[in-house]
Chains A and B, each alone.
Chain A
Amino acid sequence: MLNKADIQAQRARQLLAVGPGLLWLIIFLVLPLLAIGAISFFSRGDYGQVQWPLTFGNYKRLAGYGPFGFDSLYPAVLARSVLLGAGTAVLCLTMGLPLAFFISGLSQRWKTAALTLVVIPFWTNLLIRTYAWQILFAPDSPLSRLAAACGLIPAEGDLYPGVFAVFVGMICDYLPFMVLPLYASVEKLDWSLAEAAADLGANGINVFRHAIFPQIKAGLIAGAILVFLPATGQFVIPDLLGGAKTMLLGNAIQQQFGSSRDWPFGGAIAMVSLALMLAGLWIFNRRREA
């Protein structure tokens, strides 16, 4: 049994241990976030200053209330970003799942090699990787010619800029975030459950659905979160590979805080994107518990 003084001493020690990290989070995350949240309810002055009165106008504008009726600009930004994130997550999943099974089936030596190959993109700067795709997808590049020869794109056409190039870049950047948690759960798979299911009359699809999927669900959801959340806020890759014509959450926020000097509206976009991601997280977590 611990007496009261011991418990208090223990609490003090615990506080001392978590204190620095907690302080850091409060000063550099919680307080700025609260400030941005507060700013989003103010108005923009003529010279870009944040000023009274308090208003819901920024949020209304984001939802499509324009001076001349419905304006789809910002709702489209939100939808586009969520689609980009979800699309990247789905593509990474369809590519990452077979890859995770494949790596897990390799011998120990090849496993290490394959995992190293998966994480190698981390070691290269994102911008360099993305510019490299621009070159690879340029009109005269072998890849573009091959695609044209196969009739996938018009002759003399190119693979960049466009949706295809954007998703190639996104997959390149986010695939490791999907593969690693998936691999971790595939590696722990209890194959005897798959055998038991087959023994009880389950065909291939049902074996996967009832015996394998439930075992890798947690890894799958972790991977989906790790891809979806940052991919939703990503704007460098879409800018560089999509032709800088489309606005996404990331560059919308950047624009408001930068060239447009409209901090209240930028704050509103930031708060809404945060809410969207939290909602996504909540949905994923509910699936995980189910």
Chain B
Amino acid sequence: MLAAIEIQNLTRRFGPVVALDGITLSIGQGEFFSLLGPSGCGKTTLLRLIAGLDSPDGGTLLLHGEDALALPAHQRPVNTVFQSYALFPHMTVYDNIAFGLKMKKVSPPEMAARLERALRLVDIEALSGRTPSQLSGGQKQRVALARAVVNEPRVLLLDEPLGALDLKLRKQLQIELRQVQRRLGITFVYVTHDQEEAMVMSDRIAVMNQGRIEQLGSPNEIYERPRTRFAAEFLGSCNVIKTAILSRNSASCLVSTVWGEWRMDSPASSTSDLSGAAILLTIRPENIRFHPVEESDNRAHGKIISIVYSGSQIHYELESNGQILKAIVLNTQHGSKFQMGQTVAFAAPPAALRMLES
């Protein structure tokens, strides 16, 4: 199937600053695709290039197989939901949503039908006579979404659309947005700096840093098999451990750590023999296991130096041989509960250790 968006080597510089450093990316039709990264990583710049609100310094952009860079913004088959919503303050909600259809000179009966569908889709029929200043943040967000989807674009671009809303509303709208996307089958390109939001909603995520894509994959892939330290630390929290490879075979790998020799599953993709090389390992806090049996691999002792209680979970920090490790345990009746300063045994299961690219 033809990709909805095909980007080759897209580059954008602002003076000496390289905002996008040769992005290559393919987004499938009907996909919910997120661009995730800290502010300044280039994700919004990429979105604006796709929308035609900015021009690249190099590279190509195809929308459904057609060169889009030649088209000005108003002729591209995409619509945008802006971070600030950018609703027209002098128009009613109805006129705001009708704007795109009026510009395209859609016939009045069809316009009325599509407007009604859009208003119903985001459940704002009762607000159609109001002006944007009379709306709450969540309502504005819905109007902005309706104003974009009413045009039935094949690609919808969303620039941190939930960024200005409070947590509870954000969670609710995350679900609604995902439902709308499934129902309409539109390709969504969603810019966010919120890793949890990206994971909850996306089919695939591109983790961006300094104008490049650090890692691209499903939420599951990126979380469980982060390739770089940046990706590992940006999605969720993690422990990073300095090691050197001692030996490896096809199944497992021996590394030296501050706790002695640890065993881990061999990385599947490594091509070169990294023996002796200094590398970084990562392990997610929830994978640190307490009360390991005597003979388990990668066993060590540590002292509890911090306890944060967050209801369903307890977050510990332990200090062990000069290294600080984060650990999370579920707060259940039979879960591990420790005191400050207590010395505990823990283990890092070989399957949970990941090698990071340097």
Chain A nearest Cβ from B112, distance in angstroms: 18
Docked pose: A184 CA to B103 CA in angstroms: 29
Task: Please determine whether A190 and B86 come into contact, CB atoms closer than 8 angstroms.
Answer: yes
Digit string of A199-217 for contact with B (CB within 8 Å is 1, else 0)?
1111100110011001000
B183 at the interface (CB under 8 A from A): no
Most buried by B among A198, A201, A211: A201
CB-CB under 8 A for A198 and B73, given A206-B103, A210-B99: yes
Q: Is B291 an interface residue (CB 8 A)?
A: no
Please indicate the chain B residues that have their CB under 8 angstroms from the CB of A195 in the complex.
53, 73, 80, 82, 86
Residues in A neighbouring B100, C-beta threshold 8 A = 200-201
Please state if B99 and A197 are interface contacts (CB–CB under 8 Å): yes
- How far in angstroms is the closest Cβ of chain A from B56? 17
Residues 137-177 of B, flagged 1 when their CB comes within 8 A of A and 0 if not, give 00000000001100100000000000000000000000000
Residue B182 CB within 8 A of the other chain: no
Count of B interface residues, CB-CB < 8 Å:
24
Residue of A nearest to B51 (CB): A199
User: In the complex, what residues of A have CB within 8 A of residue B84's CB?
Assistant: 192
Write the chain A residue with the least CB distance to B90.
A214
Q: Does B178 contact A (CB under 8 A)?
A: no
Contacting residues of chain A (167-222) with chain B, CB-CB under 8 angstroms: 190, 192-193, 195-203, 206-207, 210-211, 214
Could you give, for residues 308-343 of chain B, a 1 whenever the CB lies within 8 Å of some chain A CB and a 0 otherwise? 000000000000000000000000000000000000
User: Which listed residue (B72, B89, B90, B151) contacts A200, Cβ 8 A?
Assistant: B151
Shortest B152–chain A CB gap in Å is 12
Report whether A203 and B74 are in contact in the complex, using a CB–CB cutoff of 8 Å: yes
Given A193-B88, A210-B88, is A200 in contact with B103 using a C-beta cutoff of 8 Å? yes
Count A-side interface residues using an 8 Å CB cutoff. Answer: 17
- B88 and A199 within 8 A (CB): no
Residue contact A193 to B74, C-beta cutoff 8 Å = no
> Could you say which of B52, B73, B75, B86 contacts A193, with CB atoms under 8 Å apart?
B86
Q: Is B34 an interface residue (CB 8 A)?
A: no
Find out whether the CB atom of B74 lies under 8 angstroms from the CB atom of A202: yes
- Given the complex of chains A and B, what is the CA–CA distance between A9 and B270 in angstroms? 85
Q: Mark B84-97, 1 if CB is under 8 A from A, else 0.
A: 10111110000000
Which residues from chain A contact B79 at a C-beta distance below 8 Å? 199-200
> Contact: B103 with A196, CB < 8 Å?
no
Interface members, chain B 103-146 (any A CB < 8 Å): 103-104
Q: Which residues from B are CB-within-8-Å of A196?
A: 80, 82, 86-88
CB distance from A48 to the nearest CB of B (A): 55
Task: Say whether B86 contacts A192, CB under 8 Å.
Answer: yes
The listed residue (B86, B87, B88, B104) touching A201 by CB distance below 8 A is B104
The CA-CA distance from A111 to B104 in the complex, in Å, is 38
- Please list the residues of chain A having a beta carbon within 8 angstroms of any beta carbon in chain B: 190, 192-193, 195-203, 206-207, 210-211, 214
Q: How far is the CA of A182 from the CA of B104 in the complex (A)?
A: 31
Q: Of A192, A203, A210, A214, which contacts B82 at CB under 8 A?
A: A192
Contact between chains at B82 and A211 (CB < 8 Å):
no
When distances are taken between beta carbons in the complex, the residues of chain A under 8 Å from B51 are: 199
Q: Tell me the bound Cα distance from A243 to B353 in angstroms.
A: 94
The 8 closest A-B pairs by CB, nearest first: A200-B100, A196-B86, A201-B103, A192-B86, A198-B73, A214-B90, A199-B80, A198-B74
A198 touches B53 (CB 8 A): yes
Given contacts A196-B88, A210-B99, contact A201 B151 (CB under 8 A): yes
Interface of chain B residues 265 through 282 with chain A (CB within 8 A): none
Q: Per-residue CB proximity of B39-78 to A under 8 Å, as 1/0?
A: 0000000000001110000000000000000001111001
Known: A199-B53, A201-B100. 13 other contacts (CB 8 A): A193-B88, A193-B89, A195-B53, A195-B80, A196-B80, A196-B88, A197-B103, A198-B73, A199-B80, A200-B100, A203-B74, A203-B103, A210-B88
Contact B90 A199 (CB under 8 A): no
A210 proximity list for chain B (CB < 8 A)? 88, 99
Nearest-CB residue, chain A, relative to B95 = A210
Interchain nearest-CB distance for A54 vs B (Å): 50
User: Is the pair A202, B103 in contact by a Cβ cutoff of 8 Å?
Assistant: yes
A193 CA to B74 CA, complexed, in Å: 13
- Bound Cα distance from A200 to B81, whole angstroms: 10
Q: Please state if B99 and A200 are interface contacts (CB–CB under 8 Å).
A: yes
Shortest CB distance A121–B (Å): 34
Task: For B90, list chain A residues within 8 Å (CB).
Answer: 214
Residue of B nearest to A211 (CB): B88
Contact B53 A200, beta carbon cutoff 8 Å: no
Could you tell me the distance in whole angstroms from the C-beta of B96 to the nearest C-beta in chain A? 9
What residue in chain A is nearest B78 (Cβ atoms)? A199
CA distance A214 to B75 in the complex (A): 23
Partner of B74, one of A192, A201, A214: A201
A98 to B292, CA, bound (A): 75
The distance in angstroms between the C-alpha atoms of A192 and B159, with both chains bound, is 12
A202 to B103, CA, bound (A): 6
A sample of 27 inter-chain contacts (CB < 8 A) reads: A193-B86, A193-B89, A195-B73, A195-B80, A195-B86, A196-B80, A196-B87, A196-B88, A197-B99, A197-B103, A198-B52, A199-B51, A199-B74, A199-B78, A199-B80, A200-B147, A200-B148, A200-B151, A201-B75, A201-B104, A202-B99, A202-B103, A203-B74, A203-B103, A206-B103, A211-B88, A214-B89
Chain A, Cβ-Cβ closest to B73 = A198
Q: How far is the CB of A219 from chain B (nearest CB, A)?
A: 14
